[in-house]
């Protein structure tokens, strides 16, 4: 098959990482009334990751760097000095503001999507620089994708794309093709698939329908469906017909089953439950076990003080028998409208 540009492959998340990047939380309005608890949740995340891989932390300033060290030390976590980088950000959701690491002709490349803060906020100038900063800190080249239809900047976020590492991709129509099209107005399904092919090496895209109830990103896939190997997708599925997530997830299950019939080697679907609705001040939050993060030797799974925590952890432990599956309490964290996958970004190994 011929390509317009250089061949690239986006590795699956379970492939080896050189590092996990996070940004230490500092923007209190993301967690109104609960911010004091959030740095301690981050410390627990780093404590779970550190035995398995290198962790790199973007800190708002020197004071934030010192505070991160203090909180981590309270959890008996001591990172090397070069783990902390003073890099101002607007918010801490680096899955979306940071670039996506791929394997290109000369090794690791960062695919630096343009970022518009989910078309929600005006203040994202610092987040818009994260892609450049990671390129400089890692010494790896930055590629700035362009729309194949207009040549303008391509606006995407890492939480909206999911790969099997072998040319397969999951995305949702709600995220990219909904009527408002707040990212790339007028861009078609075919144009997106052309861009996925050029910048990520994608050959097969499964278009799911809608994301989870309460997801303010317009339907990111990382709250509903994830590859766990090249022939298996886990799907967050709501069994209660009275819950709005039931209709959405039943539709996504049908789409996956249909796509699986044409998938090279077949594609199986394993379902994860949702926890009971997590509501804060009348707002339904996007609490989902699908927002797990796969590290080198561990899988970090958000938990919600719910009986289905056990079901989700057991299901994922069976799917990842060679990794430690660790639950991270996320009831406070999800008040920021994201959890573990949203706040991490992996740097693939060379």
Q: Angle at which helices 62-74 and 38-49 pack, to 10 degrees?
A: 70
Does 3 fall in a domain?
Answer: no
Structural domain containing residue 178: 17-348
What's the pLDDT at 2? 40
DSSP one-letter string for 188-248: -HHHHHHHHHHHH---EEEEE----TT-TTS--GGGTEEEEETTEEEEE----TTSHHHHH
- Beta partners for 171? 207
What's the pLDDT at 257? 97
The upper half-sphere exposure of residue 325, i.e. CA atoms within 13 Å in the direction of its Cβ, equals 19
d(CA 227, CA 200): 16
28-60 pLDDT tens trace: 999 999 999 999 999 999 999 999 999 999 999
194-249 pLDDT tens trace: 999 999 999 999 999 999 999 999 999 999 999 999 999 999 999 999 999 999 99
Tokens (6 digits) for 13: 């998340």
The CATH number of the domain holding residue 305 is: 3.75.10.10
Does 2 fall in a domain?
Answer: no
**3-state SS class at 269:** strand
Lay out the sheet containing 298-303: strands in order across.
293-294, 298-303, 324-329
Stated pTM of the model: 0.97
Does 162 fall in a domain?
Answer: yes
Q: Are strands 225-229 and 55-59 parallel, antiparallel or unpaired?
A: unpaired
Catalytic residues: 342
Give the closest residue to 98 by CA, choosing from 45, 42, 172, 23: 23
Does 81 fall in a domain?
Answer: yes
Q: In the chain, where do the E strands start and end?
A: 17-23, 55-59, 84-86, 100-104, 107-111, 142-143, 162-163, 168-172, 204-208, 225-229, 232-236, 268-272, 279-280, 283-284, 293-294, 298-303, 324-329, 345-348
* Statement: residue 4 has pLDDT above 60: no
* Statement: residue 5 has pLDDT above 70: no
What would the 3-class secondary structure string for 138-174 be? HCCCEECCECCCCCCECECCHHHCEECCCCEEEEEHH
What's the pLDDT at 71? 98
Tokens (6 digits) for 175: 């995220």
110-168 pLDDT tens trace: 999 999 999 999 999 999 999 999 999 999 999 999 999 999 999 999 999 999 999 99
State CA 45 to chain mean position distance.
Answer: 15
Does 27 fall in a domain?
Answer: yes
d(CA 347, CA 135): 11
Does 4 fall in a domain?
Answer: no
Does 36 fall in a domain?
Answer: yes
The one-character DSSP state at 82 is G
Does 236 fall in a domain?
Answer: yes
Tokens (6 digits) for 110: 């960062």
Q: Residues 7, 105: contact at Cβ < 8 Å? A: yes
d(CA 327, CA 173): 30
Domains identified in the chain, total number: 1
304-327 pLDDT tens trace: 999 999 999 999 999 999 999 999
């Amino acid at each position: 098959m011929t390509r317009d540009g250089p061949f690239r492959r986006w590795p699956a998340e379970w492939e080896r990482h050189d590092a996990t990047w996070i940004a230490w939380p500092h923007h209190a309005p993301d967690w109104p009334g609960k911010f004091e608890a959030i740095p301690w949740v981050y410390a627990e995340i780093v404590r779970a990751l550190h035995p398995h891989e290198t962790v790199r932390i973007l800190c708002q300033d020197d004071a934030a760097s010192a505070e991160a060290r203090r909180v981590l030390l309270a959890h008996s976590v001591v990172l090397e000095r070069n783990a902390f980088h003073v890099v101002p950000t607007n918010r801490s959701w680096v899955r979306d503001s940071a670039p996506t690491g791929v394997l290109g002709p000369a090794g690791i490349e960062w695919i630096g999507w343009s970022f518009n803060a989910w078309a929600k906020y005006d203040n994202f100038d610092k987040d818009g620089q994260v892609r450049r900063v990671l390129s400089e800190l890692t010494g790896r080249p930055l590629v700035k994708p362009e729309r194949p239809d207009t040549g303008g900047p391509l606006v995407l976020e890492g939480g909206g794309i999911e790969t099997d590492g072998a040319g397969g991709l999951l995305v949702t129509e709600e995220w990219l093709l909904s009527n408002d099209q707040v990212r790339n107005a007028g861009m078609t399904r075919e144009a997106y698939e052309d861009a996925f092919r050029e910048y990520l090496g994608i050959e097969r895209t499964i278009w799911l329908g809608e994301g989870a109830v309460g997801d303010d990103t317009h339907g990111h896939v990382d709250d509903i469906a994830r590859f766990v190997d090249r022939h298996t997708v886990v799907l967050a599925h709501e069994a209660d017909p009275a819950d709005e997530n039931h209709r959405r997830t039943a539709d996504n299950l049908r789409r996956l089953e249909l796509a699986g019939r044409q998938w090279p080697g077949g594609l199986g679907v394993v379902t994860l439950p949702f926890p009971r609705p997590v509501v804060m001040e009348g707002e339904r939050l996007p609490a989902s076990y699908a927002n797990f993060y796969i590290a080198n030797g561990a899988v970090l799974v958000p938990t919600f003080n719910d009986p289905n925590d056990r079901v989700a952890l057991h299901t994922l432990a069976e799917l990842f028998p060679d990794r430690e599956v660790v639950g991270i309490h996320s009831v406070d964290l999800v008040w920021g409208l994201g959890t573990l996958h949203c706040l991490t970004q992996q740097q693939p190994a060379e």
